[in-house]
């Protein structure tokens, strides 16, 4: 059995590794990070394309503006994300953890800075054991400054999804950002620095709930990172030209590379462990050793428990089909709801304190508040009228201008001669049309009178 990684103060010294999966993760990580950082800077029709404006309670996503009334779409999005996670975890194991989770992406970016500034793994171990010197001081300082710079950009980017991006950047450095947003920037900066710089896979093993419940989604046909015990054991060192069979050895040369490159500090040869984030670093490491020894690659590979036991892997299975179908239903429901969404919305609220009141002219008056929501990107004029009442007086505006993405409350009253009313309660309708849409919205309401 090889040595465990060096852990002074439980620190894991990750060895950098080259290979197919590392390239995939590195390029994927840079792409995802760039996408995250640049998205708030994408303009669309003179404003930020994606902005979750909490103050005005609206979410701008290119040409679509969502309001609290559209919460159902957000619920669908969460369900789509959840079922996509279930589907891909059942199929490919913890591929989310290894390649796309921000914790992993940022951790590997921080490790990249560590490697560039403090050197390779063995050099870092030696440096940490040695006393302070000028060289150690500048290297450590430079590393932490780089980590903090990336963390600060991350913190500002997080807030730029909620506050216009230029305001965040200029406001933060000029002190004009406001307390809540400045606090959020500082909070996300420290959280990034702490999580990716110091905590790393401790977050995955001790804090992330996903690591705990993933086992419920795994089955024997789920792709995991696995070590072929049959082929690898008995492990042991040997010369390249020596025949392992003659020495009574398997293909594992016990080089310990798979352990040294593991960000979780585990030995995959001990079997499937919940700390494994499926990053594939040990596969690249082992393939490198196999190439050097002239052995076939794949002693450690993406495989399934069934395959490791010599059996057959079922790609299509009931659990996977179930998750896939629910995912398709959720995606369809999301787009159908989005398509059916009208460009403006009207709500009618009755005065809760008084059913009706009598005016000095002897008319019966009911009071309402019409809530007009303009979900388009242009100013719109709303035309208002009531139907279902005999001749009546409309007290309030019949035309209201609502700017793009705005919500306006319009208090109005309807007054009717009581002798014209046949019942105590009359069913009425508010009919609203707008200048920017051909749709007409009709809202049912009631008009109360005295007995
Ligand atoms: S065991 Fe391999 S795949 Fe799992 S976390 Fe460690 S290096 Fe990544
Ligand atoms: S990298 Fe491969 S050969 Fe080296 S110890 Fe790990 S399993 Fe054995």
**pLDDT per residue over 410-432, tens digit each?**
999 999 999 999 899 999 999 99
78 and 107 part of one domain: yes
Number of the ligand 1 atom closest to the C-alpha atom of 300:
2
241 and 202 part of one domain: yes
Higher-confidence residue: 211 or 223?
223
Number of the ligand 2 atom closest to the C-alpha atom of 235:
8
Q: Grade residue 3 by pLDDT with cuts at 50, 70 and 90.
A: very low
21 and 108 part of one domain: yes
Task: Check whether 126 has a pLDDT greater than 70.
Answer: yes
- For residue 226, give the DSSP letter: E
Q: Grade residue 211 by pLDDT with cuts at 50, 70 and 90.
A: confident
Task: Check whether 297 has a pLDDT greater than 90.
Answer: yes
- Residue range 199-209: mean pLDDT, rounded: 88
Summarize pLDDT for 334-355 with one digit per residue, the tens: 999 988 888 888 999 998 888 9
Which token pair is 312? 């057959």
pLDDT of residue 451: 64
pLDDT of residue 70: 83
Task: Check whether 408 has a pLDDT greater than 90.
Answer: yes
296 and 405 part of one domain: no
CA 228 to ligand 2 center in whole angstroms: 11
278 lines ligand 1 (CB under 6 A): yes
Q: Cα–Cα distance between 83 and 95 in angstroms, integer?
A: 15
pLDDT of residue 378: 80
19 lines ligand 1 (CB under 6 A): no
Helical pair 102-118 and 134-160, crossing angle rounded to 10 deg: 150
Task: Check whether 275 has a pLDDT greater than 90.
Answer: no
Number of the ligand 1 atom closest to the C-alpha atom of 283:
2
Instruction: List, as one string, the DSSP characters of 307-342.
Output: HHTT----SS-HHHHHHHHHHHHHHHHHHHHHHH--
434 within 8 A of 344, measured Cβ to Cβ:
yes
Probe target for ligand 1 pocket from 214, 281, 302, with the most ligand atoms within 8 Å of CB: 281
Which residue's CA is the nearest one to ligand 1's atom 6?
262
- Residue range 43-64: mean pLDDT, rounded: 86
* 49-439-345 Cα angle (round to 5): 60
pLDDT of residue 9: 53
CA 310 to ligand 2 center in whole angstroms: 21
pLDDT of residue 114: 94
Task: Check whether 437 has a pLDDT greater than 90.
Answer: no
- Tell me the H-state helices in 391-446: none
Cα–chain center distance at 17:
28
Task: Check whether 256 has a pLDDT greater than 90.
Answer: yes
Bridge partners (DSSP) listed for residue 59: 52, 66
223 and 78 part of one domain: yes
* For the CA of 227, the nearest ligand: 2
- Residue range 104-125: mean pLDDT, rounded: 93
336 and 351 part of one domain: no
- Residue range 293-301: mean pLDDT, rounded: 96
244 and 287 part of one domain: yes
Bridge partners (DSSP) listed for residue 427: 446
Pocket of ligand 2 (CB under 6 A): 2, 227, 232, 235, 252-258, 269, 285-286, 289, 299-300
pLDDT of residue 330: 96
CA 242 to ligand 2 center in whole angstroms: 17
CA 100 to ligand 1 center in whole angstroms: 15
Which residue's CA is the nearest one to ligand 2's atom 4?
255
Number of domain units in the chain: 2
- Tell me the H-state helices in 389-429: none
> What radius of gyration, in Å, describes the C-alpha atoms of the chain?
32
Q: Grade residue 227 by pLDDT with cuts at 50, 70 and 90.
A: very high
Task: Check whether 403 has a pLDDT greater than 50.
Answer: yes
> Which pairs with CB-CB distance under 8 Å and at least 24 residues apart come from 105-109?
105/29, 105/32, 105/33, 106/33, 106/150, 106/154, 106/192, 106/195, 106/196, 107/195, 107/196, 107/200, 107/201, 107/263, 108/25, 108/26, 108/29, 108/263, 109/29, 109/33, 109/150, 109/196
**Where is average pLDDT lowest: 15-19, 170-174, 246-250, 363-367?**
15-19
135 and 281 part of one domain: yes
Which token pair is 113? 């800075």
Count the residues in the chain.
451
* 293-297-298 Cα angle (round to 5): 135
423 and 332 part of one domain: no
Q: Cα–Cα distance between 386 and 373 in angstroms, integer?
A: 18
**DSSP reduced 3-state for 125:** helix
Task: Check whether 250 has a pLDDT greater than 90.
Answer: yes
Number of the ligand 1 atom closest to the C-alpha atom of 261:
7
Task: Check whether 71 has a pLDDT greater than 90.
Answer: no
- Tell me the H-state helices in 278-317: 281-293, 305-308
**Where is average pLDDT lowest: 263-267, 365-369, 412-416?**
263-267
Task: Check whether 6 has a pLDDT greater than 60.
Answer: no
Q: Which of 341, 364, 383 is the last residue of a domain?
A: 341
pLDDT of residue 135: 95
CA 207 to ligand 1 center in whole angstroms: 18
Q: Cα–Cα distance between 429 and 447 in angstroms, integer?
A: 10
Selection from 225, 145, 159, 240 nearest residue 193 by Cα = 145
* 277-278-281 Cα angle (round to 5): 105
Q: Is 3 exposed, middle or buried (0-12, 13-18, 19+ CB in 10 A)?
A: exposed
Task: Check whether 193 has a pLDDT greater than 90.
Answer: yes
Which residue's CA is the nearest one to ligand 2's atom 8?
252
pLDDT of residue 5: 44
For 69, the domain range is 1-341
**DSSP reduced 3-state for 416:** strand
419 and 444 part of one domain: yes
257 and 286 part of one domain: yes
Query: Which CATH number goes with the domain that contains 413?
Result: 2.60.40.10
CA 20 to ligand 1 center in whole angstroms: 14
Probe target for ligand 2 pocket from 300, 301, 308, with the most ligand atoms within 8 Å of CB: 300
Higher-confidence residue: 17 or 171?
171
Q: Which of 293, 325, 341 is the last residue of a domain?
A: 341
**DSSP reduced 3-state for 355:** coil
Cα–chain center distance at 438:
36
CA 290 to ligand 2 center in whole angstroms: 8
384 lines ligand 1 (CB under 6 A): no
Higher-confidence residue: 337 or 8?
337
CA 266 to ligand 1 center in whole angstroms: 7
Q: Which of 341, 373, 401 is the last residue of a domain?
A: 341
Probe target for ligand 2 pocket from 252, 260, 293, 301, with the most ligand atoms within 8 Å of CB: 252
**DSSP reduced 3-state for 430:** strand
Number of the ligand 1 atom closest to the C-alpha atom of 268:
1
Task: Check whether 202 has a pLDDT greater than 70.
Answer: yes
204 and 324 part of one domain: yes
**Where is average pLDDT lowest: 186-190, 368-372, 403-407?**
403-407
* For the CA of 281, the nearest ligand: 1
Average pLDDT over the chain reads 91
Q: Cα–Cα distance between 62 and 384 in angstroms, integer?
A: 29
* For the CA of 285, the nearest ligand: 2
- Residue range 71-96: mean pLDDT, rounded: 92
What's the Cα-to-Cα distance from 50 to each of 40, 55, 64, 283, 352, rounded to whole Å?
6, 15, 10, 38, 38
């Amino acid at each position: 059995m090889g040595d465990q990684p060096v852990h002074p103060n439980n620190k894991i010294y990750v060895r950098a590794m080259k290979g197919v999966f590392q390239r995939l993760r590195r390029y994927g990580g840079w792409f995802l990070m760039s996408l995250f950082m640049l998205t708030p800077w994408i303009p669309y029709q003179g404003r930020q394309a994606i902005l979750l404006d909490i103050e005005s309670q609206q979410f701008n996503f290119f040409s679509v503006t969502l309001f609290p009334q559209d919460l159902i779409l957000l619920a669908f999005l969460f369900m789509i994300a959840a079922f996509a996670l279930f589907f891909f975890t059942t199929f490919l194991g913890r591929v989310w953890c290894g390649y796309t989770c921000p914790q992993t992406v940022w951790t590997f970016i921080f490790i990249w800075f560590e490697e560039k500034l403090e050197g390779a793994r063995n050099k870092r171990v030696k440096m940490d054991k040695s006393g302070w010197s000028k060289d150690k001081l500048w290297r450590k300082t430079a590393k932490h400054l780089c980590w903090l710079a990336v963390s600060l950009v991350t913190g500002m980017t997080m807030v730029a999804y909620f506050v216009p991006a230029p305001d965040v950047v200029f406001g933060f450095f000029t002190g004009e950002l406001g307390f809540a947003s400045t606090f959020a920037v500082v909070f996300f900066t420290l959280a990034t620095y702490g999580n990716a710089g110091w905590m790393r896979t401790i977050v995955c093993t001790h804090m992330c709930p996903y690591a705990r419940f993933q086992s419920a989604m795994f089955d024997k046909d789920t792709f995991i990172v696995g070590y072929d015990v049959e082929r690898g054991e008995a492990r042991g060192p040997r010369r390249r030209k020596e025949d392992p069979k003659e020495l009574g050895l398997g293909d594992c040369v016990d080089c310990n590379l798979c352990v040294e490159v593991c960000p979780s500090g585990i030995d995959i040869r001990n079997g499937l462990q919940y700390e494994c984030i499926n990053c594939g670093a040990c596969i690249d490491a082992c393939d490198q050793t196999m190439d050097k020894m002239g052995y076939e690659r794949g002693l450690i590979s993406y495989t399934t428990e069934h395959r490791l036991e010599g059996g057959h892997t079922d790609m299509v299975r009931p659990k996977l089909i179930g998750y896939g179908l629910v995912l398709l239903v959720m995606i369809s429901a999301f787009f159908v709801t989005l398509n059916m969404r009208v460009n403006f919305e009207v709500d009618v609220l009755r005065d809760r304190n008084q059913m009706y009141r009598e005016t000095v002219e002897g008319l019966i008056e009911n009071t309402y508040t019409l809530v007009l929501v303009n979900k388009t990107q242009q100013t719109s004029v709303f035309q208002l009228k009531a139907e279902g009442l005999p001749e009546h007086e409309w007290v309030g505006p019949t035309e209201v201008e609502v700017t793009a993405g705005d919500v306006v409350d319009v208090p109005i009253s309807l007054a009717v001669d009581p002798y014209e009313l046949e019942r105590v309660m009359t069913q009425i309708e508010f009919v609203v049309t707008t200048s920017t849409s051909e749709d007409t919205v009709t809202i049912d309401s009631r008009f109360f009178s005295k007995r």
